[in-house]
Structure 1
Amino acid sequence: MLRFRVSPLSPWQGSCCSQTTDVSTETIDIARYRVVLLGDSGVGKTALVSQFMTSEYMNTYDASLDDEFGEKTVCILLDGEESEVVFIDHPSSEMSVENSLSTYEPHACAVIYSVVDKATFKVAEDILNYLWRESYTKEKTVILVGNKVDLARARAISTSDGKALAASRDCKFIETSSGIQHNVDELLVGILKQIRLREARELKRTRRKLHSSKTSLSLNTAKEILARMCLSDGKSKSCENLHVL
């Protein structure tokens, strides 16, 4: 079962997971992940993050939201485990993609474009090309997000075009609308799911290196390889499935 919980507290008032009415002094370690939002101005990056935290911005595309950039923290309860996700949102004119990655060392990137603006799709393509050249899409979670799908009559970028771009750059894809909250929750949960899946895969690789023989594969390793070769058709690896790698 997938469940998530977004804190109503302002992220600038401290971590939403650090405040509790429980008098217990027991310390609970909560995983904390950083997610950088990339894309041209006006695509709805800030509005999406605001939707993660509140319904205040439903049915609106307010240009003034561009002034509300910064870092916002959301607490998510997924599969019985709580995590903090810090969304880092800076104007593209203020910080380049390269600087964003080197400064924050994020666990994931959400590359966002507007489906009604071809120029923003080109910017997203350029960003993905950079991430691809730097092997970032192979090592970290990258999700291409086509926003503003509620503006159907003005659509300039088809779903198939977005999906094709994501597939060609080995990243995930989803279409959203911060205006009517379409697929916003799915994106939030999907980002965390992708991060956790990659962490689990890396942990398995580390354990395999520690326990495998120098001269031969262990029986368990061989079984894992065979299992990957015979993946069930029922577990789709489509770029639109945010719950598998």
Structure 2
Amino acid sequence: MCFPHRALSSLLSLYYFFSPCCKMEIENETICSSGSSSGGSREYKVVMLGAGGVGKSAMTMQFISHRFPDYHDPTIEDAYKTQVRIDDEPAYLDILDTAGQAEFTAMRDQYMRGGEGFIICYSVTDRQSFQEAAGFKELIYQVRHTYDIPLVLVGNKIDLEQARQVSTEEGLSLAREYTCAFFETSAALRFYVDDVFYGLVREIRKKESMPSLMGKQLKRKDSLWRKLKGSLKKKRENMT
């Protein structure tokens, strides 16, 4: 199914506006979630946020393994690691795929404190998911007490254009409000999936290049992230 020309034009215009450096090189190397980055290379803690069923897990699986899952339970939280090269620099992404249902948000404060960058997802075929996405930045602020957090806003399922309920213009407007990059994607067809993760890493790197207490912040986040991953592991063991 072809990508709608109008949405493609808007997306590319915004992508180049936010991300002038567009060189991307993927290394198809997936690291098991219990491992650690090798050689002391930088590890980026990424959190996927969004309502259940918007395609967070499908996007993650397409990014790390180039495959679309046949089925995924939207109430299950999971974690993945993968190695890529972005602008000729290695990056190890530790991705937390969060559950969308409210009853599975007991660890929400933990992953909002521990995450370094957030991918906020909605489905262009589901207006309710867009309305929920609009509130995530405020939820992050309530935990972190700052709006200066690397974010990427994603409208998924553009392959279902005939069922679209949220226009490209509405997504662009919310991204401007959030002052963040915006992409429309198809996890099913793997359209612009890599761009989302690469764009977020670039935002994190941009923030790190500014003078700050980044070393102390990273050390604190490492501790929070380890506790979170331990809680997630226990939760999964209890469910099996």
After TM superposition, the score normalised by the length of structure 1 is 0.69
CA RMSD of aligned residues (A): 2.5
Deviations 1:173-200 (A, max 9, x none): 1111101011112112111111111111
**1:234 aligned partner:** none
**1:106 aligned partner:** 115
After TM superposition, the score normalised by the length of structure 2 is 0.70
What is the CA–CA distance in structure 2 between the aligned matches of 1:161 and 1:130, rounded to whole Å? Answer: 20
Change (3 A) 1:86 1:99: same
1:11–1:71 CA contact under 8 A, matched in 2: no
What is the CA–CA distance in structure 1 between the aligned matches of 2:145 and 2:167, rounded to whole Å? Answer: 26
Please identify, of 154-163 and 1-10, the stretch whose mean Cα deviation from structure 2 is larger: 1-10
Q: Structure 1 unaligned segments of length 5 or more: list them.
A: 19-27, 207-245
2:30–2:82 CA contact under 8 A, matched in 1: no
SS at match of 2:30: coil
What is the CA–CA distance in structure 2 between the aligned matches of 1:49 and 1:154, rounded to whole Å? Answer: 23
Rg larger in structure: 1
Change (3 A) 1:191 1:137: farther
Identity, in percent, stands at: 27
Q: Structure 2 unaligned segments of length 5 or more: list them.
A: 1-21, 215-240
Task: Specify which of 169, 188, 213 is matched with residue 179 of structure 1.
Answer: 188
1:107–1:141 CA contact under 8 A, matched in 2: yes
What is the CA–CA distance in structure 1 between the aligned matches of 2:131 and 2:109, rounded to whole Å? Answer: 17
What is the CA–CA distance in structure 1 between the aligned matches of 2:153 and 2:146, rounded to whole Å? Answer: 11
**1:87 aligned partner:** 95
SS at match of 1:66: coil
Residue 176 of structure 2 corresponds to residue 155 of structure 1? no
Change (3 A) 1:49 1:68: farther
What is the CA–CA distance in structure 1 between the aligned matches of 2:90 and 2:205, rounded to whole Å? Answer: 12
What is the CA–CA distance in structure 1 between the aligned matches of 2:52 and 2:35, rounded to whole Å? Answer: 27
Counterpart residue identity of residue 124, structure 2:
V
Task: Specify which of 149, 152, 155 is matched with residue 140 of structure 1.
Answer: 149
What is the CA–CA distance in structure 1 between the aligned matches of 2:25 and 2:118, rounded to whole Å? Answer: 20
Number of residues of Structure 1 aligned to a counterpart in Structure 2: 190
Residue 58 of structure 2 corresponds to residue 37 of structure 1? no
What is the CA–CA distance in structure 1 between the aligned matches of 2:156 and 2:27, rounded to whole Å? Answer: 21
Cα deviation for residue 98 of structure 1 reads 3.0
Change (3 A) 1:137 1:145: farther
Change (3 A) 1:163 1:132: farther
Structure with the largest fraction of helix: 2
Change (3 A) 1:125 1:53: same
Residue 85 of structure 2 corresponds to residue 77 of structure 1? yes
Residue 209 of structure 2 corresponds to residue 200 of structure 1? yes
What is the CA–CA distance in structure 1 between the aligned matches of 2:147 and 2:167, rounded to whole Å? Answer: 25
What is the CA–CA distance in structure 1 between the aligned matches of 2:23 and 2:79, rounded to whole Å? Answer: 25
More RCO (CA 8 Å, sep 6+) = 2
Task: Specify which of 119, 122, 147 is matched with residue 128 of structure 2.
Answer: 119
SS at match of 1:151: helix
What is the CA–CA distance in structure 2 between the aligned matches of 1:47 and 1:202, rounded to whole Å? Answer: 36
